[in-house]
Amino acid sequence: MLTRREFVRMGCLAAAGRFVLPSGAALARAAPAGAAAAAAGAADKKKYNVLFIAVDDLNNALGCFGHPVVKSPHTDRLAARGVAFEHCYCQFPLCSPSRTSLFTGLRPDRTRVYDLKTHFRDTIPDVVTLPQVFRRNGYFAARVGKLYHYGVPSDIGTSGLDDAKSWDEVVNPRGRDKDEEGKVTNLHAAVSKGLGAALAWYESEGADDEYTDAKVAAETIRLMEAHKDKPFFLGCGFYRPHVPWIVPKKYFDLYPAPERIELPKDPPDDRSDIPAAALPVKQPNYGFSDLDCRKATRAYFASISYMDAQLGRVLDALDRLGLADRTIVVFWGDNGYHLGEHGLWQKMSLFEESARVPLIIAAPGAKARGRISPRIVETLDLYPTLTDLCGLAPPDGLAGASLRPLLDDPAAAWNRPAYTQLRRGAAQNAFMGYSVRTERWRYTEYDGGKQGAELYDHQRDPRELTNLANEPRYADAVAEMKRLLPAARGSPA
């Protein structure tokens, strides 16, 4: 039962958009007294903290991954502290299914979350999530912003599709960007597409600290300051570069005029060998002009740089508080993002630009620092990696594998492929597409091959411009990749 003081504190925090989520386990963790308290404190100081930074709709357009234009100095600084994984893949290129796979450690066909409405507690109610494992082991677990799914921008300032069992405290920031949504340039205005799916931007006149992501950074820092003497699992969920791209004008000014922004140079017949099921949008670039596409790309880059600046504040605080040497920092994007490749924008394809996500892990004690791993890894690998690094027992049945060996030697032997899937169609006509990625190949089937297949050779064709699936001389490669594909469903290869 809550005391009156605890009840009043909860009310005050709720009024400020912050919520303390009591549970029997949390309330039972009373501080021991005397010598026991000292021993417990000493043990706590030996535990690694986890700072888990999730970024919404961020592709690999970052300096540390070799992007020639995007300015991301603070993400690059984090990469210099740890290992950047240049070939990490999400399990489903959509916010909720991807985040659900990460935090449950299960593939989408196990969670049965394929959309933005289904909550995993309705399909797998007893699953133990990644933050739950830490919470059960005496860690303070909290999130600020978007860790599980909620709609952007519609649900900003709310808990959305959160999971109360995962956290001791949650904070739902809301900034100036919510108040400026009516000022955006919306390329999809004519078709009344919601802002969460429209190419829309605004060069705002506000100061950095007025926007939602700045408030995410500020609240993350506050929680680190408040809990620096106890082990914590802290989720920091940034919103940009998810649309609408509303950030201060000075971040747009970091980039050339739209006319000088380059677009992908695909051959005129690029789509001729691509199955229809592979294309979520049939009209290339939605029919927008090249100039509009350049403006949208520039707005996306500006939003990355604004998010990066807020990340810098969090990293500065980690150093200032003396936490860097005992905190594992994970930086992760929930899905990739097309910027005109194959005439596509946003996500929900099984091409490289949609399935590939940024991942950086900076772990105290890891032997490799500032290196890039070329190995193929998955979002699912984060659950076993973090429990391994922190010496915690994970639940049975996790689909991923610990990346710990690659943190010591980023080029170590590693023969696991990565799987990404999506769902096409509606209701009874819906079907799945499954894709498997190895270091050389990507192979994709839609509806078991009935709606088409794709094979791309990444040694010779990293942009996936030539589909080899129907070429007789590649029949052996197709057969080998088909053999791997059942594991995407959780079946043995």
Crossing angle between the packed helical segments 212-226 and 290-320, to the nearest 10 degrees? 20
C-alpha dist (Å) from residue 303 to 193, 195, 225, 307, 370:
20, 15, 27, 6, 25
Give the pLDDT band of residue 33 (cuts 50, 70, 90).
Answer: low
Assign a CATH topology to domain 17-412: Alkaline Phosphatase, subunit A (3.40.720)
Catalytic status, residue 95: yes
Q: What average pLDDT does this structure show over 105-128?
A: 97
Give the pLDDT band of residue 43 (cuts 50, 70, 90).
Answer: low
Span 436-461, pLDDT tens digits: 999 999 999 999 999 999 999 999 99
Q: What is the largest CA-CA distance in the chain?
A: 75
* Sign of the alpha-carbon dihedral angle for 167, 169, 174, 175: negative
* CA separation for the pair 303, 207 (Å, rounded): 14
Residue 278 per-residue DSSP state = G
Span 3-19, pLDDT tens digits: 444 433 444 444 445 55
* Sign of the alpha-carbon dihedral angle for 399, 112, 432, 187: negative
Give the pLDDT band of residue 121 (cuts 50, 70, 90).
Answer: very high
CB 51 within 8 A of CB 45: no
* CA separation for the pair 44, 241 (Å, rounded): 36
Domain map (residue ranges) of the chain: 17-412
Span 282-297, pLDDT tens digits: 999 999 999 999 999 9
Give the pLDDT band of residue 489 (cuts 50, 70, 90).
Answer: confident
Q: Which of 38-52, 300-314, 331-345, 392-406 has the lowest mean pLDDT?
A: 38-52
Query: pTM for the full model?
Result: 0.92
User: Strands, E, within 292-440: which ranges?
Assistant: 327-333, 338-339, 345-346, 356-362, 371-373, 377-378, 418-424, 431-437
Q: State the chain's mean pLDDT as an integer.
A: 92
pLDDT at 15: 43
Amino acid at 297: T
Span 128-151, pLDDT tens digits: 999 999 999 999 999 999 999 989
Catalytic status, residue 149: yes
Residue 183 per-residue DSSP state = G
Among candidate residues 179, 206, 184, the one with its CA nearest the CA of residue 195: 184
Contact residues for 434 (Cβ-Cβ < 8 A; gap 6+): 419, 420, 421, 444, 445, 485, 488, 489
- Whether residue 34 is predicted with pLDDT greater than 80 in this model: the reply is no
Q: Which of 95, 236, 293, 390 is catalytic?
A: 95
Give the pLDDT band of residue 27 (cuts 50, 70, 90).
Answer: very low
Span 148-180, pLDDT tens digits: 998 999 999 999 999 999 999 999 999 999 999
Q: What average pLDDT does this structure show over 63-74?
A: 98
Give the pLDDT band of residue 24 (cuts 50, 70, 90).
Answer: very low
Q: What is the 3-state secondary structure (H, E, C) of 53-93?
A: EEECCCCCCCHHHCCCCCCCHHHHHHHHHCEEEEEEECCCC
Share of the chain above pLDDT 70, in %: 90
Helix, strand, coil share (%) of the chain residues, nearest 5: 40, 20, 40
Helix/strand/coil for 473:
helix
CB 407 within 8 A of CB 120: no
Q: Which of 64, 74, 87, 149 is catalytic?
A: 149
CA torsion 64→69→74→77, rounded to 10°?
30
Tokens of 314: 């969090």
Give the pLDDT band of residue 405 (cuts 50, 70, 90).
Answer: very high
pLDDT at 18: 58
Among candidate residues 401, 422, 470, the one with its CA nearest the CA of residue 109: 422
Q: Are strands 83-89 and 377-378 parallel, antiparallel or unpaired?
A: parallel
CB 58 within 8 A of CB 304: yes
- Please report the DSSP string for 477-488 in residue order: HHHHHHHHGGGG
Span 250-268, pLDDT tens digits: 999 999 999 999 999 999 9
C-alpha dist (Å) from residue 339 to 18, 264, 279, 286, 454:
35, 8, 14, 12, 21
Distance in angstroms between the alpha carbons of the first and the last residue of the chain: 51
Q: What average pLDDT does this structure show over 13-28?
A: 47
CB 108 within 8 A of CB 98: no
- Whether residue 20 is predicted with pLDDT greater than 70 in this model: the reply is no
Would you put residue 407 in left (φ > 0), alpha (ψ -120 to 50) or beta?
A: alpha
